[in-house]
């Protein structure tokens, strides 16, 4: 594509950067605001003014620790189940003949609007007499995270050649041995990636948690209540905190993903 004029190239750079500013500026600005010690909604005027005052204030919020604990539990359970399902579907996927049907099924929940998915699941649980609890939120979150998370292992499973498994079998390895020595080492990057994505998506999900949780609220529900209710500036600190944790985990996940893609490519050349 050498025939693109400089003008087009520059204007496309500008458009892309503007879009990135549009997507990222508000969150970044919020992070800065959260460090302003006064009650004003402004950027700290001097470097020495930056303060963690509102972050420390979070320690005194009474219902916050329970919400954090709830979100952490839901997130970890979602991560576990999501990575297990991703692993299983990755293994099954290799041997399927009609691959696109299975992939379509896995991805289907993306196409259901969040509120409809949440609402239908809540009445379904009601029908089979399952009371709202942490576990109903987990099930809703696995359904939400699986389409995104399962793509990662599918990619890493392409590193797993049928020949490797057959060779191990011919050498007398048991099914478990094949899994332990061949399948798992080659795919654990994808499985860990799926777990991280599952955790992050669960942590930041709101509408399903809202419809499916019982008495104990998750962090997202807690934050939403504070945002609607007009709380003190510690809400910026809480938002900043959850944003920083997410960004940290995303970067780890993305680096991991880049690594397994790189590795699966070098294996594909074998």
Site for other proteins in 54-93 (CB under 8 A): 84-86, 88-89, 91-92
Distance CA 252, CA 181 (A): 25
Biggest alpha carbon distance in the chain? 71
String of b and e for 13-22 (b: at least 16 CB within 10 Å)?
eeeeeeeeee
Residues 200-229 that bind other proteins (CB under 8 A): 200-201, 203-204, 206-207, 220, 223-224, 227-228
167: contact with other proteins by CB under 8 A: no
* Per-residue binding letters, 128-147, with other proteins (x by CB under 8 A): -----------xx-xx--x-
Judged by CB under 8 A, the stretch of 49-57, 62-70, 186-194, 250-258 that binds other proteins is 250-258
Q: Is the dihedral of CA 167, 173, 178, 180 positive or negative?
A: negative
Judged by CB under 8 A, the stretch of 45-53, 57-65, 104-112, 187-195 that binds other proteins is 104-112
174: contact with other proteins by CB under 8 A: no
Nearer to other proteins, 17 or 52 (CB): 17
Select from 159, 151, 127 the least CA-distant residue to 260. Answer: 159
Which residues neighbour 189 within 8 Å (Cβ) at sequence distance 6 or greater? 156, 256, 257, 259, 260, 263
Judged by CB under 8 A, the stretch of 45-53, 54-62, 185-193, 198-206 that binds other proteins is 198-206
């Amino acid at each position: 594509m050498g025939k693109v004029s400089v003008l087009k190239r520059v204007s496309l750079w500008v458009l892309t950067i503007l879009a990135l500013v549009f997507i990222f500026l508000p969150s970044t600005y919020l992070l800065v605001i959260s460090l302003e010690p006064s009650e004003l909604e402004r950027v700290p005027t001097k470097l020495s003014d930056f303060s963690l005052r509102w972050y420390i204030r979070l320690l005194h919020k009474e219902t916050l620790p329970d919400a954090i604990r709830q979100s952490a539990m839901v997130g970890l359970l979602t991560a576990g189940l999501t990575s297990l399902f991703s692993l299983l579907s990755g293994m099954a996927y290799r041997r399927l003949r009609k691959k696109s049907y299975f992939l379509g099924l896995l991805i289907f929940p993306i196409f259901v609007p969040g509120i409809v998915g949440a609402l239908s699941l809540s009445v379904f649980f009601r029908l089979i007499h399952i009371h709202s609890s942490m576990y109903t939120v987990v099930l809703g979150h696995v359904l939400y995270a699986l389409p995104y998370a399962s793509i990662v292992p599918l990619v890493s499973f392409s590193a797993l050649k049928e020949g490797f498994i057959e060779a191990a079998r011919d050498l007398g390895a048991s099914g478990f041995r094949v899994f332990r020595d061949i399948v798992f080492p080659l795919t654990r990057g994808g499985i860990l990636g799926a777990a991280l994505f599952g955790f992050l998506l669960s942590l930041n999900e709101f509408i399903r948690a809202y419809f499916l949780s019982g008495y104990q609220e998750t962090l997202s529900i807690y934050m939403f209540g504070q945002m609607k209710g007009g709380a003190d500036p510690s809400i910026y600190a809480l938002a900043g905190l959850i944003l920083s944790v997410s960004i940290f985990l995303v970067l780890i996940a993305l680096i991991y993903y880049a690594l397994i893609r790189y590795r699966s490519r070098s294996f594909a050349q074998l």
